[in-house]
Amino acid sequence: MPDTAIAIPADLRRDLAIQDIRATIVDVPTVRRHKLAQTSVTAQSYVIVRMRLSNGAVGIGEAATLGGPRWSEESVEAIKANIDAYLAPALIGQHAAQPVALGVRMDAAAKRNNAAKGAIESAALDALGLTLGVPVATLLGGTVRTSFPVLWTLASGDPAQEIEEAEGKLAARLHDTFKVKIGAQPPEQDMARMRRLATALEGRARLIVDANQAWDETVALRCLPQLSEMGVRLVEQPLPAWNLQGLARVRARTTAPILADECVFTPADMMAVAQAGAADAVSLKLVKHGGPIGLQKVAAVAEAAGIALYGGCLLESSIGAAAHLHAFASLRDLAWGCEHFGPQILVEDLVGAPLRFADFHVHLPEGPGLGVALDPGALRRFARG
C-alpha cells in the first residue's frame, strides 16, 4: 500500500504520531487438545500489541505461536522481547499514516521477526482506521467480500471423537469443511483414521489434510493416492519446507492438490515455489508475511503464477482473526476460503464482541479499524505473570 494512498492533512499527521507501543503475553486455554505433527497445545499463547497515537487512539494487533518456537523460529517470549527492545523504539514518534515506511524502519531494526512485525502493523492500521473512521479493509484497497467460507480443524487424533466433533459443527451449521491434522502417528494409522472420517462424513462434508512437514517423498507418494481415493480435496505441506524440488516431484505424480504453507514466508519464497511448480495453492498468514501489506504482496505473486489462495491461521483470537479477514476481504479471489475458527477453540475470547460464525461462514466485523475491541478484563485474566 503506497503512502500516498490516503491524503492526510498536516495537522492530522501530527495527531497520528506513535506515542507508545506495549506488548503483553497472554495464555488462553483451549476447549480441547490441538495436536499437530510436531507438538500439541492445550493453551494458545499470543502477544497482544497496543499502539497509542498522539490523538489518543489505541490500535491493537496480535502475534500467535503454537507451542513455542516449533512451528517457526518465533516464540511469544522472543516476540515481546524484540518488540520492546528493537521494534517499538524504532517507531516511537513516527506516523501511523505511513505503514509502508513503518515496515521499512522495522526491517532495518530487526531481520525476519515476521509475527512481531505483523502484530505491530495490524495495530497501526487499526489505530489509523479508528482515527479516520474507516475499516482496515478500506485502507488495504476496499472489500471484495464480507463473509468467508470457514473450515474447522480436527486435531485430537481420536477418530471417534473427531467424528462426533464434526457432526456437532455440521448440525450447528458452523462448518462443513474439516482440516485433519496428520503426521503425528505412523502413516498407516493416519490413513486408517482418515478412512473412518471420510466414510462417516461422506456426502455431507469436505476434507483436507495437513501433514505439517512430517513426511518424506516416499511416504507422501504412498499416502497421497489413498487420500485422493477418499475424496480429500487438498493436502497441506506434506514435505519439509526446504524440499521444494521434492514437493514438485510429489505434485507431478499425484492428483491431490498441494497447499504450500511453511515454505512460503516472503514474496521471494512464493516466487521460488511457483518456479519449482511445487504447489497448487498457498496458505496466507500474517505471522508469516509480516502483516496485511506483506500478505497482499505474497498473494499478488501467487495470483500472477496461477496459484490459488487459502486463508490460513495459527489459532488466532478474534483480534488476529479480524486482522486476517480485513486482508482477505481485499483480495480479488480467495478460492479455498479460510480456516479462522480460532476464536471458537478458546475457552474465552479476548474481545468484547467476538467474530460472528453462521451458515458455514465467518463474517467480517463491522465498524472502523479492525472492528473488534480488546476486553481489558480478559487481558488481565490471561496475561502471563
Q: Is residue 278 part of a domain?
A: yes
Q: What CATH code is carried by the domain that includes residue 17?
A: 3.30.390.10
Neighbours of 236 (CB within 10 A): 25
Q: Is residue 337 part of a domain?
A: yes
3-state secondary structure of 38: coil
Q: Looking at the structure, tell me whether residues 177 and 102 fall in a common domain.
A: no
Q: Looking at the structure, tell me whether residues 212 and 67 fall in a common domain.
A: no
Q: pLDDT at position 222, please?
A: 97
Range of the domain at 267: 139-374
**Residue 291 confidence (pLDDT) above 80:** yes
Instruction: Give the mean pLDDT of 199-216.
Output: 97
**Residue 365 confidence (pLDDT) above 80:** yes
Q: Looking at the structure, tell me whether residues 170 and 208 fall in a common domain.
A: yes
**Residue 12 confidence (pLDDT) above 70:** no
DSSP 327-356: HHHTSS--TT-B---HHHHBSS-SBSSPPE
Q: pLDDT at position 68, please?
A: 83
**Residue 82 confidence (pLDDT) above 60:** yes
Nearest by Cα to 150 from 324, 371, 338, 295: 338
The pLDDT confidence band at residue 36, using thresholds 50, 70 and 90, is: low
Q: What does the mean pLDDT of the chain come to?
A: 94
Instruction: Please give the share of the chain, as a percent, with pLDDT higher than 70.
Output: 95
Last residue of a domain, one of 91, 118, 133: 133
**Residue 2 confidence (pLDDT) above 50:** no
CA angle 255, 71, 62 (to 5 degrees): 110
Q: Which three cell numbers stand for residue 327?
A: 486482508
**For 107-140, what is each residue's pLDDT tens digit?**
999 999 999 999 999 999 999 999 999 999 999 9
Q: How far apart are CA 8 and CA 11, in angstroms?
A: 8
Q: Is residue 384 part of a domain?
A: no
Q: Looking at the structure, tell me whether residues 65 and 94 fall in a common domain.
A: yes
Q: Looking at the structure, tell me whether residues 173 and 121 fall in a common domain.
A: no
Q: Looking at the structure, tell me whether residues 121 and 168 fall in a common domain.
A: no
Instruction: Give the mean pLDDT of 320-349.
Output: 97
Q: Answer yes or no: are the C-beta atoms of 178 and 165 closer than 8 Å.
A: no
Q: Which residue has the cell 502493523?
A: 121
The pLDDT confidence band at residue 312, using thresholds 50, 70 and 90, is: very high
Domain count, the chain: 2
Q: Is residue 209 part of a domain?
A: yes
Last residue of a domain, one of 104, 133, 162: 133
Phi, psi of 214 (to 5 degrees): -80, -15
Last residue of a domain, one of 90, 115, 133: 133
Q: pLDDT at position 5, please?
A: 45
Q: Looking at the structure, tell me whether residues 161 and 309 fall in a common domain.
A: yes
Q: Answer yes or no: are the C-beta atoms of 273 and 244 closer than 8 Å.
A: yes
Q: Looking at the structure, tell me whether residues 180 and 127 fall in a common domain.
A: no
Burial class (CB in 10 A: 0-12, 13-18, 19+), 94: middle
Q: How far apart are CA 227 and CA 235, in angstroms?
A: 9
Q: What CATH code is carried by the domain that includes residue 334?
A: 3.20.20.120
Q: Looking at the structure, tell me whether residues 147 and 274 fall in a common domain.
A: yes
**Residue 11 confidence (pLDDT) above 70:** no
Q: pLDDT at position 217, please?
A: 97
Handedness of CA 286, 291, 292, 295 (dihedral sign): negative
Q: Answer yes or no: are the C-beta atoms of 106 and 92 closer than 8 Å.
A: no
Residues 6+ apart with CB under 8 A from 385: 25
Q: Which residue has the cell 497482544?
A: 48
Q: Looking at the structure, tell me whether residues 267 and 122 fall in a common domain.
A: no
Burial class (CB in 10 A: 0-12, 13-18, 19+), 13: middle
Which helix (H) or strand (E) segment holds residue 358: the answer is strand 356-358
Q: pLDDT at position 305, please?
A: 98
Q: Is residue 239 part of a domain?
A: yes
Q: Looking at the structure, tell me whether residues 150 and 99 fall in a common domain.
A: no
Q: Is residue 128 part of a domain?
A: yes
The whole-model pTM stands at 0.94
Q: How far apart are CA 31 and CA 384, in angstroms?
A: 19
Instruction: Give the mean pLDDT of 227-239.
Output: 97
Least confident window among 27-36, 57-66, 67-76, 123-132? 27-36
The pLDDT confidence band at residue 3, using thresholds 50, 70 and 90, is: very low
Q: Is residue 382 part of a domain?
A: no
**Residue 173 confidence (pLDDT) above 60:** yes
Handedness of CA 268, 183, 220, 307 (dihedral sign): negative
Q: Looking at the structure, tell me whether residues 120 and 211 fall in a common domain.
A: no
**For 250-277, what is each residue's pLDDT tens digit?**
999 999 999 999 999 999 999 999 999 9
Q: pLDDT at position 39, please?
A: 64
Q: pLDDT at position 284, please?
A: 98
Q: Is residue 379 part of a domain?
A: no
Residues 6+ apart with CB under 8 A from 168: none
Residues serving a catalytic function are: 181, 339
Nearest by Cα to 129 from 117, 116, 142, 118: 142
